[in-house]
C-alpha cells in the first residue's frame, strides 16, 4: 500500500489516530478494488473528508490501474462492528448504494457504488468532486441560487422516492445478505410520542386534548402504513446533499431504510427540522418545494394529484414531526430567557405556529387550536422576537 500524504497540507490528513484511520481506510479501499478488478490498484494523496458519522471518509487518487476507474474515488471505512442486535450503519449504507447502483445512471440521485466488502467494512464510491452542498447555498448570499438549489433538492427527493417505490423486498433481501436486521428506522418513536403530553403540561401548563392525541396516533399509523413506501436517506440535512450540474445528489445513507415517503415529505413543510442548525425559508418557498416533489411522485402515487388529499397527508406528517421534536427537545430548552432568532427555542415557536396555520387549512380544528396555544405559550416565555430567522441566503 502506498499512502502519500505530501500533497494534502494542513487541510488533509492529520496526525496520530486520524492518520492511522485514514491509512486503514486507504488500505481497505485498495484491497476491495484489487479483489474486484483482479489486479493491484494503488491509491495516493488521501484527503480526510471528516465524515460526521462512524465512518472514516477519504478522497484518494488512483495512480496504478489498468481499468477505467475514475481519477479520484471516495472511500468510506467502518472499522467498528455494531453492537449485538443494533442496526449496522455499514450494512444500511452498503445496501442503500447497492439499491441505487442497480438503477439506470439518471435514476440514482447519489454517487455510484464501485466496490464494497463486508469483511473489510468498506465502500468505494464515485467522487462527485468539490461540489457545493445545499448548506453552502443556504449560507451564501445569493437568494436565486438558494431557491434553485432547494427546488432541485425537492425534485431529487421526489425522483428518489419514485425510482425506489416497490423495492422494499429488494432492499430487505440485500440487507439480510449483509447480516443487517431488517426493520424500519423507528427508534424510540413510541416512547417519545408518549412523553409529549407530560412535557407540555409540565413546561407550558397546557393539557393535551384527547382529540389531538387521536390525531397523533393516526399520524404515527400513517408513518408506518404499507402505502406510499419507498427508500429514505432518513438524515435529510443540507450538509448531506451536493448541488451538481445534474441536480442535487444525496450522500450518507447510514440510516437508510424503506418507509413512508410522507415522513420525508414533512421536511418540505419543516425544512431540515431534524438538523440542529435548521432555519426558516421565505413565504412561498415551501409550497414551491412541495409542487416540485409532487411532480416527480404523482405518476407513482396518483392520489397526490388531489390537492386536498395531499394537504391532509402533509399536515398529518407535519404534526408527527413537530410532536417528535417537541418530545425530544422541549424538556431541555431554556424557557427563562428571550430566545435569539437562530435558536431551537425560536424554531419550536415557528413550527408550532406553522402547524396551527396548516392544520386550519385542512380543517384539523382541534390540532390547529392546540398548536396555536402551544406557540403562544412558548412565545410568552421566550419574548416577542422568538421567530426563527431565515437562512442567510434569504436575509
18: part of which helix (H) or strand (E)?
Answer: helix 16-37
**Average pLDDT, integer, range 222-238:** 94
Residues 153, 49 share a domain = no
The pLDDT assigned to 385 comes to: 78
User: Which domain covers residue 55, as residue numbers?
Assistant: 9-126
The pLDDT assigned to 4 comes to: 43
Per residue in 338-362, pLDDT tens? 999 999 999 999 999 999 999 999 9
The pLDDT assigned to 218 comes to: 97
Residues 180, 107 share a domain = no
Per residue in 190-205, pLDDT tens? 999 999 999 999 999 9
pLDDT confidence tier of residue 15, bands split at 50, 70 and 90? low
122 neighbors 22 (Cβ within 8 angstroms): no
**Average pLDDT, integer, range 224-235:** 94
pLDDT confidence tier of residue 2, bands split at 50, 70 and 90? very low
Residues 283, 175 share a domain = yes
Residues 313, 232 share a domain = yes
Residue 60, classed as helix, strand or coil, is strand
**Average pLDDT, integer, range 308-313:** 98
Per residue in 236-263, pLDDT tens? 999 999 999 999 999 999 999 999 999 9
The pLDDT assigned to 213 comes to: 98
The pLDDT assigned to 1 comes to: 39
**Average pLDDT, integer, range 205-209:** 98
**Average pLDDT, integer, range 363-372:** 98
Q: In the predicted model, is pLDDT for residue 181 greater than 90?
A: no
For residue 82, give the CATH number of its domain. Answer: 3.30.200.20
Rg of the chain in Å (alpha carbons)? 22
Torsion angle (degrees, nearest 10) of CA 217, 219, 222, 228: -170
Instruction: Count CA atoms within 13 Å of residue 22 on its CB side.
Output: 25
Residue 8, classed as helix, strand or coil, is coil
111 neighbors 87 (Cβ within 8 angstroms): no
**286 phi and psi angles, rounded to 5 deg:** -60, -40
Residues 381, 249 share a domain = yes
pTM, to two decimals: 0.91
For 370, counting Cβ atoms within 10 Å of its Cβ (0-12 exposed, 13-18 middle, 19+ buried), the class is: buried
Residues 282, 163 share a domain = yes
Percent helix, strand and coil across the chain, each to the nearest 5: 50, 15, 35
Residues 350, 239 share a domain = yes
pLDDT confidence tier of residue 66, bands split at 50, 70 and 90? low
| Average pLDDT of the chain, as a whole number | 91
Q: In the predicted model, is pLDDT for residue 67 greater than 50?
A: yes
Residue-wise burial string across 59-77, b where 16 or more C-beta atoms lie within 10 A, e elsewhere = bbbbeebeeebeebbbbbb
Q: In the predicted model, is pLDDT for residue 14 greater than 50?
A: no
Contacts of 89 (CB under 8 A, 6+ apart): 53, 54, 55, 78, 82, 254, 255
Angle, CA 217 vertex, CA 335 and CA 171 arms, to 5°: 105
Q: In the predicted model, is pLDDT for residue 90 greater than 90?
A: yes
| Residue that has been written with the C-alpha cell 419574548 in this structure | 383
Residue-wise burial string across 225-247, b where 16 or more C-beta atoms lie within 10 A, e elsewhere = eeebbbbbbbbbbbbbbbbeeeb
156 neighbors 236 (Cβ within 8 angstroms): no
**Average pLDDT, integer, range 363-391:** 95
Residues 183, 327 share a domain = yes
Q: Is residue 111 part of a domain?
A: yes
Q: Is residue 140 part of a domain?
A: yes
Q: In the predicted model, is pLDDT for residue 9 greater than 80?
A: no
Instruction: Count CA atoms within 13 Å of residue 19 on its CB side.
Output: 10
The pLDDT assigned to 386 comes to: 86
Domain count of the fold of the chain: 2
The pLDDT assigned to 183 comes to: 58
Q: Is residue 4 part of a domain?
A: no
The pLDDT assigned to 8 comes to: 44
Domain boundary (68, 99, 126) is at 126
Residues 318, 355 share a domain = yes
Residues 108, 182 share a domain = no
83 neighbors 64 (Cβ within 8 angstroms): no
Q: In the predicted model, is pLDDT for residue 185 greater than 50?
A: no
Determine what percent of the chain is predicted with pLDDT higher than 70.
94
Amino acid at each position: 500500500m502506498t499512502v502519500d500524504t505530501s500533497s494534502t497540507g494542513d487541510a488533509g490528513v492529520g496526525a496520530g489516530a486520524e492518520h492511522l484511520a485514514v491509512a486503514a481506510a486507504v488500505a481497505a479501499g485498495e484491497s476491495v478494488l484489487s479483489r474486484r478488478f483482479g489486479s493491484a490498484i494503488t491509491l495516493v494523496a488521501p484527503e480526510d473528508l471528516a465524515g460526521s458519522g462512524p465512518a472514516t471518509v477519504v478522497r484518494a487518487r488512483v495512480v496504478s490501474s489498468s481499468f477505467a476507474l475514475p481519477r479520484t474515488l471516495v472511500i468510506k471505512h467502518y472499522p467498528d462492528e455494531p453492537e449485538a442486535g443494533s442496526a449496522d450503519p455499514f450494512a444500511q449504507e452498503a445496501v442503500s448504494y447497492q439499491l441505487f447502483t442497480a438503477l439506470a445512471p439518471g435514476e440514482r440521485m447519489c454517487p455510484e457504488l464501485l466496490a464494497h466488502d463486508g469483511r473489510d467494512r468498506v465502500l468505494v464510491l464515485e467522487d462527485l468532486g468539490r461540489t457545493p452542498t445545499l448548506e453552502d447555498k443556504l449560507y451564501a448570499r445569493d437568494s436565486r441560487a438558494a431557491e434553485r438549489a432547494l427546488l432541485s433538492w425537492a425534485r431529487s427527493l421526489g425522483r428518489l422516492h419514485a425510482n425506489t417505490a416497490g423495492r422494499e423486498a429488494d432492499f430487505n433481501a440485500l440487507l439480510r445478505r449483509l447480516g443487517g436486521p431488517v426493520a424500519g428506522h423507528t427508534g424510540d418513536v413510541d416512547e417519545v410520542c408518549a412523553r409529549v403530553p407530560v412535557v407540555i403540561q409540565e413546561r407550558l401548563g397546557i393539557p393535551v386534548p384527547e382529540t389531538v392525541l387521536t390525531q397523533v396516533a393516526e399520524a404515527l399509523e400513517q408513518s408506518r402504513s404499507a402505502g406510499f413506501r419507498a427508500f429514505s436517506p432518513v438524515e435529510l440535512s443540507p450538509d448531506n446533499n451536493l448541488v451538481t450540474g445534474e441536480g442535487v445528489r444525496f450522500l450518507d445513507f447510514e440510516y437508510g431504510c424503506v418507509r413512508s415517503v410522507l415522513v420525508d415529505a414533512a421536511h418540505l413543510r419543516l425544512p431540515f427540522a431534524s438538523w440542529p442548525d435548521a432555519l426558516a425559508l421565505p413565504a412561498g418557498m415551501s409550497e414551491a418545494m412541495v409542487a416540485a416533489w409532487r411532480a416527480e411522485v404523482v405518476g407513482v402515487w396518483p392520489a397526490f394529484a388531489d390537492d386536498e388529499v395531499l394537504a391532509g397527508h402533509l399536515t398529518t406528517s407535519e404534526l408527527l414531526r413537530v410532536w417528535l421534536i417537541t418530545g425530544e427537545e422541549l424538556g431541555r430548552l431554556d424557557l427563562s430567557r428571550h430566545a435569539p432568532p437562530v435558536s431551537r427555542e425560536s424554531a419550536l415557536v415557528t413550527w408550532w405556529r406553522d402547524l396551527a396555520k396548516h392544520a386550519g387549512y385542512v380543517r384539523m380544528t382541534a390540532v390547529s387550536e392546540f398548536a396555536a396555544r402551544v406557540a403562544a405559550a412558548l412565545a410568552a416565555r421566550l419574548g416577542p422576537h422568538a421567530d426563527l430567522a431565515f437562512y442567510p441566503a434569504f436575509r
